[in-house]
Chains A and B, each alone.
Chain A
């Protein structure tokens, strides 16, 4: 059984890390989480981004956030990626597996996954 005492241990482990994390955040992953997104399967997409960003060691520079309806409900789940100095990139009809691929190839590797982009469906 996990208890709140374990949280105190997490706090001690994280003390130094968090200072670094809040100082950066130049890449933002924004997942549409309105009714349209949720219905189309945005919840597992969001959670795949959160987990994979952590697993790939990118949590210090990539921030995963949620937004409401982006206005293109027919393409949900929609994910937008904002990076300083670059154009916004929009991924559509996402799944948890595609999300993992995007973290690896785009966020880590630097090259957007062309076949999932809004211009290519």
Chain B
């Protein structure tokens, strides 16, 4: 993967597949440290599953024998002297279940990669999961402050118009791009 927005798409897809109805994607950059957090209310994982997660030969899927999403993210974070932490509460054990993945990156490290197109990542997520409530927030100490809440948009649109109608996706793309252009 060539830019961070693709890693973010890949990791957030895990929340989608965990059956989450609420997913927050947060990016915060301060003093050249970028913190990426994805928080969901999906099915969660047991402690054993979380421990195995960074092993590329662990996966719950049956179509292939490897799972590279989290190992890729960890490799990228660690090569910039950052890291990844995962906290999860399995639905088997907890009423308020879900997962929080936090990754930190040093953006001034030579091995950090470009941020990429975060708007396209959010558009792709909404296109695939129009009924999920996505919260997106990206702030930096250099003046970027972008926020989006799809529950608010759904409240305006009503139940009959899906968020992944192309007209609505075009609006959301503009909504995010305008905020990025403010900087």
Chain A residues with a Cβ under 8 A of chain B: 1-2, 4, 6-8, 10-11, 13-15, 18-19, 21, 33-36, 38-39, 43-44, 46-47, 50-51, 53-54, 59, 64-66, 68-71, 73
Report Cα–Cα, A15/B127, bound state, in Å: 19
**B156–A7 CB distance below 8 A:** yes
B→A interface (CB under 8 Å): 1, 6, 9-10, 13, 17, 61, 63-64, 67-69, 72, 120-121, 123-124, 127-128, 152-153, 156-158, 160-162, 165-169, 171, 174-175, 178-179, 182
Q: Is the CB of A68 within 8 A of B61?
A: yes
Q: How far is the CA of A59 from the CA of B166 in the complex (A)?
A: 8
Task: Determine which of B152, B156, B161 lies in contact with A18 in the assembled complex, contact meaning CB atoms within 8 Å.
Answer: B161
**A46 with B127, Cβ < 8 A, contacts A8-B156, A18-B160, A35-B72 known:** yes
B63 touching A7, Cβ below 8 Å: no
* Interface residue from B121, B128, B158 paired with A66 (Cβ < 8 Å): B128
Chain B residue nearest to A70 in the complex (CB): B63
